């Protein structure tokens, strides 16, 4: 399954052997694109245009390579782009408008391209004057062609000598083409019909091999390297490099663009999601730690927890899901729309900031077999398909939903599988055992096992009461109820490879490698018929529907139709027709038919599904190249065709067959007794009478129930409409009152808001004074900070100067020591040279003496000479050793000098880092100071608003008292309405339950009626067949055939088995009806209990809410009473204040002394200034003096400003004052 571009479409493009198909994601339907006139060899690449209209396919046919343009709407090829030099195009990419197509080919220089037919000559550019060697020493010949799709010509092309891996046309500009490869990034631009190449700086690309790339914006693209880096370029300039992204040490394999950024996938099943790093407020790109623009940030890593390598990745069109294709043929999708914003991310190539890591929650999985499929079977009564494969798994599929329902792993490799027609039982064959599983309740549970070796072929009967199992060359028949061995069919001399049941389960056919086809009777276990072709190995067999004729296929390349030409029992089985299939051997067959003509469906070794018309008089056939390996099974069920193959895939086809093959001939003569006919007619008459009675009774009951229900529904509807109208009128009246109160409240609030504005102005001036004090304090702190910073810089300068002096002195000492060592070494060398010259002179002199004395005493001279030579060698070795020691000492000194230099460099780096840290801290301090000022200003504004809002809240609380009373009345009305509504709902629920009960009974009666009708039809059909057979027997002139005809009639219609079978079926149906009725009555009782429990819970909740509302109302009433008390006491206090003021004024005028025996309270009034808000008593307006008693002691209420008021009022007034 491949996809060739970043264009998001609602379909997958799949490449199958010699076929290109389009598969839908949601519908999961496959449409085949018709084959080209010439045989298709292979497909190299595909690409879909942005408007989802065109599909470009790079393919190779018999005459050469070409590019086909397919219309995705009609699935037809509209044009073909011929390639002149026969190069196979490895990649394709459409422009934004879909008018142009870019393609590239990359071959090793010297290879011969595929030959192609004649085509128009495109404009060419001169090739490079000198071929370039790639980095791996191989010369590549790469060509990029820019096609005009409408004219089917090459608009421009370029040639170069680099190995490229990816080519992409910019989705933002049709004139830009990007290529990446081994140590290469190129950008081609089309200018006046030519492609001009541009490359980034060589230092950015010469050390990287690029594996993937994607366009991210106009002039912006990202490229991935094989060492795990991702580079972002803008206008061919490297802007950002992301490193250390992959925890597992891998590298990016695929990159796909998204609306928010791009997605990266590595080969180890991990997906990395990058998003644009843009400031939400300013809309600008955020800078990284190095003050460089950082275009994207890594926000999340999704681990798919798959052990197989990732092959491909593609976001869905709405980017809510991501589809991943793995090397094990599994396709999964997981949700990506719930991205967590604002999390930490990797800011630059040296950042250690972590990002979000999670395990992807797989929402949809397309799990395929990891190897060849051994066998497949289909259930006839349920939409279930079962498969088993060499990956040691058993899988159950729902072919209506096209999804896998169950997966079971087994310890051994399964060899074969078959499922019961009802879908309740599953039989799987292993190497040494046959295991029977229960297939129910969403699981596969093993029930029993049988010791049978290598029983690969097995098949259930159509009724499911028997199963045939092959053990080497013996076919065994078991009962699926008791699993008792019924019969053993022996006769084959080689392995049996195919089984088939007749449509009535009376016959079983087996075919094997010995070239023999046997038909066995399942009634008595005898052999009914046989057909032998020596030297032939049969691999498939199937019954022709509704007949005893067979379709067989072997290894000789023929599909045969065998059977008897006449209905005579003595007639032998012969080959009726043959169809040559050639070397493409048939592995499995099936057939489908209705009343006219039919078709034979055959699966071959080459993976071809062949549809052959039946009867096979002509060689008309249609081939579908669907599999990439031998087809192992072919099954038909309910208009669908299923095929499985060793390539690990299962294909599902929807069949629309109009007619079927001819029915087999039936006997012309039938004999029946009059007694049996009368019995049949009597039973039919009884069934008809019962049917009429049940029909009339069900219609009468249905009419009564319907009439009663309609009357109840009409009365309840009228009552409910009257109540609803009354409540609507009441709601309108209350709504009018609410609007009137809102208008009056709005006018009062406007007046009070004006008063509060005046108070807020006074508070602003107060906060201005505080702000000036805070500013002065800030200036003092800033001056202190500057002084501290100056001292710190002075201390750093002194420390640096001292460090430089120490460093210089140490360097001088080391230089002096080095110079002394060098002088010593030179002196030693001169001494060595002097000794060497002296030794040479002494040797010359001794040589002359030795020559003079050599004739006299040669032996003595040689001994002396050897001794002298030994001494000289020792002295020379000592000098050489001293020289080596001096060299080692010099090397150690050099190392010490290098260490000092490194230490100096480290000190310089530390100084530089400290400077950077100081700059960063200063910058941070400035930002924090600015932030502090902003917070202070906001705090001041909030304080103003808080004070004003407190006043508003207090006044609103006072005004809400009348509304609370009205709300209580409304709550009582709502409560009454709720109770009425609950009574109505309960009555409706009871009626609905009654209606459902009646409907269930009606449905049961209708099902009984339907079953009786079916039985009557079957009886009528049987009588009609019996009359026709009697008529045919009577009209036959050959009296010799009457005996056999009468015998056959007796066996067909008057056997005791048929009578007993009919009676058992009737009893089973009646029992099933009684069980279903009992089950429905039990279910109804359970539903009634649930309804009663739900009603009880509802009553409890209503009572609890009523009690809570009562407690809340009592609390509100208590608060209102306290509020009224406070108001009355405030009025009394104001009156006392006014009277005291009046008395004080009179005393001042009359200058009369105050009585000392009375407790006195002196009030001092400040001069009037600004007007205070309503209810606000400033501290300078009212000062309370401590009262004195007659005996000079302090009053018990001393220190309290309002001794005669309650504590709550005293606290509120104290808070207002200070």
pLDDT tens for 740-768 read 888 887 888 788 778 778 777 777 777 77
Give the tokens for residue 943: 């304080």
Q: Is residue 981 part of a domain?
A: no
Residue 1193 pLDDT class (50, 70, 90 cuts): very low
Provide the 8-state DSSP code for 307.
S
* Cα(1070)–Cα(1061) distance, integer angstroms: 14
Domain of 172 in residue numbering reads as 1-199
Residue 996 pLDDT class (50, 70, 90 cuts): confident
Examine the fold and report which residue of 331, 366, 401 is the final residue of a domain before the chain moves on. Answer: 366
Q: How many domains does the chain have?
A: 5
Examine the fold and report which residue of 665, 687, 711 is the final residue of a domain before the chain moves on. Answer: 665
Domain match, 733 and 639 both: no
Domain match, 718 and 754 both: yes
Domain match, 822 and 957 both: yes
* Cα(753)–Cα(744) distance, integer angstroms: 14
The CATH number for 160's domain is 2.130.10.10
Domain match, 85 and 122 both: yes
Residue 177 has pLDDT above 80, yes or no: yes
Average pLDDT over residues 644-649: 82
Domain match, 7 and 117 both: yes
* Cα(429)–Cα(435) distance, integer angstroms: 6
Give the percent of the chain with pLDDT over 90. 6
Domain match, 648 and 688 both: no
Residues paired with 67 in a beta bridge: 58, 81
Question: Are 143 and 177 within 8 A, CB to CB?
Answer: no
* Cα(696)–Cα(694) distance, integer angstroms: 6
- Kindly write down the DSSP assignment for every residue of 332-343, as one continuous string: EEEE-S-PPPS-
Domain match, 808 and 709 both: yes
Q: Is residue 1150 part of a domain?
A: no
Average pLDDT over residues 628-655: 83
Assign 3-state DSSP to the chain and report helix, strand, coil percentages, each to 5. Answer: 40, 30, 30
Residue 141 has pLDDT above 70, yes or no: yes
Give the percent of the chain with pLDDT over 70. 77
The whole-number pLDDT of residue 420 equals 92
Average pLDDT over residues 787-811: 79
Stronger pLDDT, 694 or 1175, i.e. the higher one:
694
Residue 470 pLDDT class (50, 70, 90 cuts): very high
Closest CA to 188 of 169, 164, 161: 169
| pLDDT 10s digits, 335-369 | 776 543 333 333 333 333 445 555 555 555 556 77
Window from 376-390, 697-711, 1181-1195 with minimum mean pLDDT = 1181-1195
Question: Are 176 and 169 within 8 A, CB to CB?
Answer: yes
Average pLDDT over residues 631-640: 84
The whole-number pLDDT of residue 51 equals 82
Domain match, 816 and 759 both: yes
Average pLDDT over residues 952-976: 78
Residue 862 pLDDT class (50, 70, 90 cuts): low
Domain match, 595 and 693 both: no
Closest CA to 144 of 87, 221, 201, 198: 87
Residue 513 has pLDDT above 50, yes or no: yes
Average pLDDT over residues 205-224: 84
Average pLDDT over residues 825-838: 77
Domain match, 659 and 683 both: no
Window from 30-44, 707-721, 999-1013, 1117-1131 with minimum mean pLDDT = 30-44
The whole-number pLDDT of residue 113 equals 53
Domain match, 696 and 655 both: no
Examine the fold and report which residue of 638, 665, 692 is the final residue of a domain before the chain moves on. Answer: 665
Q: Is residue 1121 part of a domain?
A: no
Residues 6+ apart with CB under 8 A from 840: none
Q: Is residue 549 part of a domain?
A: yes
Residue 1055 has pLDDT above 70, yes or no: no
Closest CA to 33 of 50, 11, 51, 49: 11
- Kindly write down the DSSP assignment for every residue of 593-631, as one continuous string: E-SS-EEEEEEETTSEEEEEEESTTS--EEEEE--SS-E
Give the tokens for residue 938: 């906001």
């Amino acid at each position: 399954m491949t996809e060739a571009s970043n264009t998001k479409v609602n379909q997958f493009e799949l490449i199958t052997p010699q076929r290109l198909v389009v598969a839908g994601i949601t519908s999961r339907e496959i449409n085949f694109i018709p084959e080209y006139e010439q045989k298709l060899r292979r497909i190299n690449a595909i690409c879909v245009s942005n408007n989802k209209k065109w599909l470009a396919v790079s393919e190779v046919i018999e005459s050469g390579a070409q590019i086909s343009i397919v219309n995705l709407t009609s699935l037809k090829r509209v044009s073909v782009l011929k390639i002149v030099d026969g190069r196979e195009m490895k990649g394709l990419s459409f422009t934004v408008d879909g008018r142009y197509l870019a393609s590239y080919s990359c071959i090793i220089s010297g290879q011969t391209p595929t030959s192609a037919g004649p085509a128009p000559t495109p404009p060419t550019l001169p090739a490079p004057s000198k071929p370039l060697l790639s980095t791996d020493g191989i010369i590549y010949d790469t060509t990029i062609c820019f096609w005009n799709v409408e004219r089917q010509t090459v608009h421009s092309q370029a040639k170069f000598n680099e190995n490229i891996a990816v080519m992409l046309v910019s989705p933002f500009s049709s004139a830009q083409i990007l290529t990446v490869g081994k140590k290469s990034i190129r950008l081609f631009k089309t200018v006046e019909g030519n492609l001009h190449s541009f490359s980034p700086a060589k230092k950015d690309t010469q050390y990287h091999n690029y594996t993937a790339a994607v366009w991210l914006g106009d002039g912006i693209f990202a490229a991935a390297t094989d060492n795990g880096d991702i580079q972002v370029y803008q206008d061919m300039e490297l802007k950002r490099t992301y490193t250390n992204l992959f925890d597992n040490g891998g590298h990016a394999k695929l990159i796909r663009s998204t609306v928010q950024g791009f997605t990266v996938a590595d080969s180890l099943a991990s997906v990395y999601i990058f998003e644009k790093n843009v400031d939400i407020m300013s809309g600008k790109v955020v800078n990284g730690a190095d003050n460089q623009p950082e275009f994207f940030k890594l926000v999340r890593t999704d681990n798919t927890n798959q052990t197989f390598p990732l092959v491909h990745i593609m976001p869905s069109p709405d980017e809510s899901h991501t589809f991943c294709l793995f090397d094990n043929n599994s396709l999964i999708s997981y949700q990506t729309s719930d991205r967590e914003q604002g999390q930490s991310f990797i800011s630059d190539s040296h950042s250690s900031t972590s990002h979000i890591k999670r395990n992807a929650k797989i929402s949809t999985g397309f799990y395929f077999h990891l190897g060849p499929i051994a066998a497949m079977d289909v259930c006839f009564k349920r939409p279930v398909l079962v498969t088993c494969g060499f990956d040691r798994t058993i899988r159950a599929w729902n072919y209506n939903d096209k999804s896998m329902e169950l997966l079971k792993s087994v310890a051994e490799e399964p060899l074969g599988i078959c499922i019961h027609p009802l879908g309740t039982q599953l039989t799987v064959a292993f190497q040494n055992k046959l295991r029977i599983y229960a297939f129910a309740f969403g699981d596969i549970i093993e029930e029993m096992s049988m010791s049978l070796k290598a029983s690969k072929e097995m098949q259930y009967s159509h009724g499911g009461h028997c199963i045939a199992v092959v053990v080497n060359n013996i076919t065994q028949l078991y009962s699926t109820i008791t699993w008792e061995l019924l019969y053993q069919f022996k006769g084959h001399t080689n392995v049996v490879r195919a089984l088939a049941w007749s449509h009535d389960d009376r016959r079983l056919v087996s075919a094997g490698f010995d070239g023999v086809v046997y038909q066995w009777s399942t009634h008595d276990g005898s052999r009914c018929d046989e057909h032998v072709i020596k030297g032939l190995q049969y691999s498939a067999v199937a019954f022709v529907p509704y007949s005893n004729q067979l379709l067989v296929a072997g290894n000789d390349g023929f599909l045969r139709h065998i059977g008897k030409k006449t209905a005579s029992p003595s007639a032998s089985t012969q080959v009726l027709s043959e169809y040559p299939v050639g070397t493409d051997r048939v592995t499995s067959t099936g057939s489908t038919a209705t009343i006219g003509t039919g078709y034979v469906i055959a699966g071959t070794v080459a993976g071809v599904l062949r549809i052959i018309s039946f009867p096979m008089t002509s060689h008309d056939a249609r081939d579908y190249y669907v599999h990439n390996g031998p087809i192992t099974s072919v099954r038909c069920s309910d208009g669908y065709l299923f095929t499985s193959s060793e390539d690990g895939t299962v294909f599902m086809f929807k069949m629309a067959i109009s007619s079927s093959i001819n029915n087999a001939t039936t006997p012309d003569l039938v004999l029946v007794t009059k007694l049996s006919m009368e019995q049949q007619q009597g039973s039919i008459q009884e069934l008809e009478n019962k049917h009429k009675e049940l029909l009339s009774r069900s219609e009468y009951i249905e009419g009564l129930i319907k009439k009663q229900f309609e009357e109840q529904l009409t009365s309840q509807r009228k009552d409910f409409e009257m109540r609803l109208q009354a409540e609507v009128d009441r709601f309108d009246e209350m709504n009018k009152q609410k609007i009137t109160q809102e208008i009056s409240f709005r006018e009062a609030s406007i007046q009070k808001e004006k008063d509060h504005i005046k108070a807020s102005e006074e508070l602003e001036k107060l906060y201005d004074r505080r702000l000036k004090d805070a500013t002065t304090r800030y200036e003092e702190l800033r001056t202190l900070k500057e002084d501290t910073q100056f001292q710190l810089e002075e201390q750093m300068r002194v420390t640096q100067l001292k460090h430089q002096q120490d460093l210089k002195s140490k360097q001088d000492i080391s230089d002096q020591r080095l110079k002394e060592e060098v002088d010593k070494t030179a002196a030693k060398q001169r001494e060595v040279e002097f000794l060497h010259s002296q030794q040479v002179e002494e040797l010359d002199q001794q040589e002359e003496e030795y020559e003079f004395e050599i004739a006299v005493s040669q032996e003595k001279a040689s001994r002396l000479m050897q001794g002298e030579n030994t001494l000289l060698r020792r002295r020379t070795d000592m000098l050489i050793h001293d020289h080596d020691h001096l060299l080692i000492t010099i090397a150690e000194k050099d190392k010490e000098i290098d260490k000092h230099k490194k230490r100096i460099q480290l000190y310089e780096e530390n100084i530089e880092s400290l400077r950077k840290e100081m700059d960063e801290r200063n910058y941070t301090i400035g930002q924090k100071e600015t932030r502090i000022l902003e917070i202070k200003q906001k705090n001041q504004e909030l304080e103003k608003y808080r004070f004003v809002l407190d006043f508003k809240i207090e006044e609103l609380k006072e005004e809400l008292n009348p509304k609370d009373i009205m709300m209580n009345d409304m709550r009582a009305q709502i409560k009454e309405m709720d109770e009425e509504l609950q009574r109505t709902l309960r009555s409706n629920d009871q009626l609905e339950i009654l209606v459902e009960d009646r409907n269930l009974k009606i449905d049961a009666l209708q099902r009984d009626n339907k079953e009786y009708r079916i039985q009557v039809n079957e009886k009528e059909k049987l009588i009609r067949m019996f009359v026709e057979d009697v008529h045919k027997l009577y009209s036959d002139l050959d009296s010799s055939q009457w005996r056999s005809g009468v015998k056959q009639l007796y066996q067909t219609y008057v056997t005791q088995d048929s009578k007993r079978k009919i009676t058992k079926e009737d009893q089973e149906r009646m029992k099933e009806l009684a069980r279903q009725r009992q089950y429905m009555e039990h279910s109804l009782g359970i539903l009634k209990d649930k309804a009663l429990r739900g009603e009880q819970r509802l009553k409890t909740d209503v009572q609890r809410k009523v009690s809570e509302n009562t407690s809340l109302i009592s609390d509100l009433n208590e608060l209102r009473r306290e509020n009224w008390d406070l108001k009355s006491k405030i009025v009394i206090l104001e009156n006392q204040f006014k009277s005291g003021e009046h008395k004080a004024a009179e005393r001042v005028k009359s200058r009369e002394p105050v009585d000392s025996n009375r407790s006195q309270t002196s009030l001092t009034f400040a001069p009037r200034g600004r007007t205070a808000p309503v209810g606000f008593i400033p501290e300078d307006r009212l000062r309370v003096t401590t009262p004195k008693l007659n005996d000079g002691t302090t009053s018990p209420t001393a220190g309290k400003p309002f001794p005669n008021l309650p504590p709550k009022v005293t606290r509120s007034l104290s808070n207002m004052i200070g």
